[in-house]
Structure 1
Amino acid sequence: MFPTPIQNRSRAAQITYQSLLPLVLILWLLPLIAVMLFSIRPFSDFGQGNYWGMPSSFEFFTNYGRVFFESDMPRYLLNSVFITVPTVIGAVALSCMTGFALGIYRFRGNLLIFFMFIAGNFVPFQILMVPVRDLTVDLGLYNTKLGLVLFHIAFQTGFCTLFMRNFIRALPYELIEAARVEGVAEWRIFWFVVLPLMRPAIAALSVLIFTFIWNDYFWAVVLTQGPGAQPVTAGITSFNSQFVAQFHLMSAGSIVAAIPPVVIFFLMQRHFIAGLTLGAVK
């Protein structure tokens, strides 16, 4: 039913696997490698069609210097921080409470409410573009960081609730019962008993949501415009003018924009893996 581990396969299969793995890894990293090479090329190379050859000169400091000191990239990065961090905090906090309510309490309509949270994840977000934009305009939240934060919290809470509810359901229910026998209030059970056990799940979910929101481009373009509120994913397009696309600066900006999620993942890697694997074995 399950594939045989590569260690238990024949020697020929192991050699084939070891030979193909570096090739597949290179193919997977090829777009990122191309962007990194483009980010150190001079603009003249693109006009001459020198995309994959040796750069005529290495403009690492020039290109990245222009990105940081001659553009609005620092402001776009700051916008992304002000959008992503509150969204992660809001979505995770709400999902912890809704997951606790749906995972611990037994009441009529529990599954219906849970399915409503799940159903939101199956709605194609493209069809919501016009009504969501109109709603933000009517509420005065269009082209504001607050509007983007509230929108992301609303849409991410469904997935987060699914994640947290299933995690809480796997916790020993005897701990809840023992606390209730001792007369502990429900909110204290949540805060002092359940929440500490949810730390691995909170860490894993925070990394996932941070990556989702930081890398969002579609809603950043739909709900914001200009450096006042746009995050870095949409701000990279500011390097394109009407007639000229500055691919070297766009590539440098893309590398800069990709660094924070990578750093967050490596900082939270231990907690992230623990949160995803907790409960996999006993």
Structure 2
Amino acid sequence: MSALAPPARAGVPGPARTGRRRRPRAARSPWLHVAMIPVTLLWLSPIVFVLFVAIRSYDDIAGRGLGAFPASFSTEGFTTALTDGGVLQSLGNSVLVTAWAVLASLALSSVAAYALSRFDIPGRRTILLTMLAGNLLPPQILLVPVAAITEAFGIADTRTALIIVQVGFGIGFYTFVLHGFMRSLPTEVFEAARLDGAGPGGIFWRIVLPLSRPSLAALAALATTWIFNDLIWAMTVLRTEDKFPITAALLNLQGGYASAWNVVAAGSLIAAVPTAIVFFMFQKQFVSGLLVGANK
């Protein structure tokens, strides 16, 4: 005689009744947004102040002071910075140097990271640590050697020398970051590609580079910011003002227009536009690149 199951009580599910348990919804507190409002305003206050100075005329600043609220709108500062200040030409130099330096740095570092992460190279850990250790040296102690090397090779006072210096001092960090990402890629993907007859070059071009796109985009945004805003290597390598990047041009602009703060502020805002555009273009990829490996 088989045992009968006791009848299910009202409101209590029986053995046959199964249901998915609802997870409690996390409460979203508005206090975080409230606390971030003053932090955001504090962060944006210097930019707003520079913007207010840039849209004021020289007479307004001289008569009412630098911290006064704008009494009128004027594009005098932007016009002077773009024409007489040489900001437009220097901006083109910065864009040219940054574009070539970023492309060369990421191309060389991606190949180096692929070789160090996927091939049994003798002393590869030592090579990687040596490349990374080069970025830990203070750039101030390397100014004289870098200037002497560029003079010895006959490339001093050229944009090519500045590009080479930027690539040389950035490739170690980029290789270190890409090496960690490429090493975490599944080995099964590479084994399947080898079974399909793909060689090392084909695997790198068709598999590794597409999978490394988030990391490459994040590094591209960082490298663009670092190279575009660099001043120390530009002043070390270059001598001619026509070849100066935007940072060196702003330094000269501040010296030539010491009392015209609207011109200096306008030039600073113009110099900040390219890096802001790059960040907003790669914002999604930048965040994805920072979170690579967080769910592994």
TM-score (norm 1): 0.88
- 2:23 paired residue number: none
- 1:26 paired residue number: 41
Identical pairs, percent: 34
Say which of 207, 229, 232 aligns to 2:221.
Answer: 207
- 2:53 paired residue number: 38
Moved more, 61-70 or 139-148: 61-70
Aligned in 2, Cα 1:152/1:21: closer, same or farther, shift over 3 Å?
same
**How far did residue 46 of structure 1 move?**
4.5
TM-score (norm 2): 0.85
- 2:123 paired residue number: 109
2:194 equivalent to 1:180: yes
- 1:4 paired residue number: none
What pairs up with 1:1-282 in 2 under 5 angstroms? 15=31, 17-48=32-63, 50-59=65-74, 61-241=75-255, 244-282=258-296
Question: Do 1:237 and 1:250's aligned partners in 2 also have CA atoms closer than 8 Å?
Answer: no
2-structure distance, mates of 1:213, 1:41: 31
The runs of 4+ residues in structure 1 deviating greater than 3 Å are 17-20, 44-49, 240-245
Question: Do 2:257 and 2:264's aligned partners in 1 also have CA atoms closer than 8 Å?
Answer: no
**How far did residue 8 of structure 1 move?**
6.5
Give RMSD over aligned pairs: 2.1
Aligned in 2, Cα 1:243/1:234: closer, same or farther, shift over 3 Å?
closer
Question: Do 2:101 and 2:166's aligned partners in 1 also have CA atoms closer than 8 Å?
Answer: yes
Moved more, 106-115 or 252-261: 106-115
Question: Do 2:90 and 2:246's aligned partners in 1 also have CA atoms closer than 8 Å?
Answer: yes
**Structure 2 segments unaligned to the other structure (5+ residues):** 1-25
Aligned in 2, Cα 1:246/1:139: closer, same or farther, shift over 3 Å?
farther
Larger Rg: 2
2-structure distance, mates of 1:213, 1:121: 14
**How far did residue 274 of structure 1 move?**
1.9
**How far did residue 68 of structure 1 move?**
2.0
Aligned-partner SS, 1:272:
helix
Aligned-partner SS, 2:72:
coil
- 1:3 paired residue number: none
Name the structure with the higher helix share.
Answer: 1
